[in-house]
Amino acid sequence: MKQIKKFRNMRKIILFLAVCLISMASFAGIIDSGDINENITWTLDDEGTLTINGTGEMPNYTSGNRPPWYLHKYNAIKPKKVIIDNGITSIGDYAFADCFSIIDVEIPNSVISIGNRAFSQCQIENIEIPNSVQTIKAIAFGNTRITTLEIPNSVTYIGIFAFNISTLENVIVSWANPSNVTVENGVFGETNIPASCFLKVPAGTKELYEKANVWKDFQIIEHIPTSLTDIKEKSTLNIYTTDKTIFVENVKDSTIAVYSTQGQLITSAKNVTETFKIVVPQVGIYIVRVGGESWKVIVN
């Protein structure tokens, strides 16, 4: 009986120690933290995740007045990933500038403004700019490693050198007219835009971008949605094919465009009759775009 009681006591002690270790581990994950202002705090954990929590605008910093997490760039555990909490409305100047170890950033849909040099020199290769952002200030993403950049149509101002990025391969925009956004000269750098970099613009807008300052320096192609989430397989319109011909009925006074699956424009016109008809060069899959919607069509 004594041995059984002793075993039970030992098991309780082991369970108690295990609970203590788990509790300690949850606290040990945070290696530094603090207040940015009365509404915003920051934490850095032992995996290099820097989290900004709270609401409102982050303060602006300068090259001589860096944020409190900046000195961690010199430590063994450096900021690698930045998570900005939903509720933050602006990312301050120099907020993460020159933190070379940062490779991943999450920006919430509450952010309206991205400050001067906010992510300059970070080694991020991918970025998702939410459709809440209106202002992207000078050198905000300068000298990062982004290859594909999608700028939402909520953006109305882009500052000088904001995207001075030598690794860019694709820039995707969705303004119906490039005049909807103010872009400073040199947004993409003081040297030539990389020859291999393409600007993908909405269908029917290529000519506008070819005449627009800054954008005209790109190789411009018209971009259409190609993912299954963007393309509607079934249509409320009457679309059918026969003998290498696509017919679209009930489309009077609509602008219609037909593309190959590689994004090449086959034809584009405003239809003045009830039925649109086009003979395509060969059998295959085509994309028919009417207004702002697209449909996949198989021509046998």
Q: What does R_g of the chain's alpha carbons equal in angstroms?
A: 27
Which of 7-16, 88-97, 202-211 is the least confident region?
7-16
pLDDT at 146: 95
Which of 90 and 196 is assigned the larger pLDDT? Answer: 90
45: left (phi over 0), alpha (psi -120 to 50) or beta: beta
pLDDT band at 202 (very low <50, low <70, confident <90, very high): confident
Neighbours of 222 (CB within 10 A): 20
Place 15 in a pLDDT band, splitting at 50, 70 and 90: low
Amino acid at 278: I
Q: Quick check: 163 pLDDT over 60?
A: yes
Confidence of residue 249 (pLDDT cuts 50, 70, 90): confident
What does the buried/exposed string (b/e) look like for 95-104 if buried means 16 or more CB atoms within 10 Å of the residue's CB?
bbbbbebbbb
Which is higher by pLDDT, 68 or 266?
A: 68
Q: What is the pLDDT of residue 235?
A: 47
CA 190 to chain centre: 23
pLDDT at residue 210, as a whole number: 92
If you average pLDDT over every residue of the chain, what do you get?
A: 84
Q: What is the mean pLDDT of residues 132-152?
A: 95
pLDDT of residue 268: 78
Instruction: Give per-residue pLDDT as tens, 228-245.
Output: 344 444 445 778 787 788
Q: pTM for the full model?
A: 0.69
Give pLDDT, residue 14.
54
* Domains annotated on the chain, with CATH: 238-299 (2.60.40.10)
Does residue 119 carry a pLDDT above 70?
Answer: yes
Structure tokens at 125: 């290769």
Burial string for 109-138 (b: 16+ CB within 10 Å, else e) reads ebbebbbbbbbbbbbbeebebeebbebbbb
30-35 and 40-45 strand pairing: antiparallel
Band (pLDDT 50/70/90 cuts) for residue 272 is low
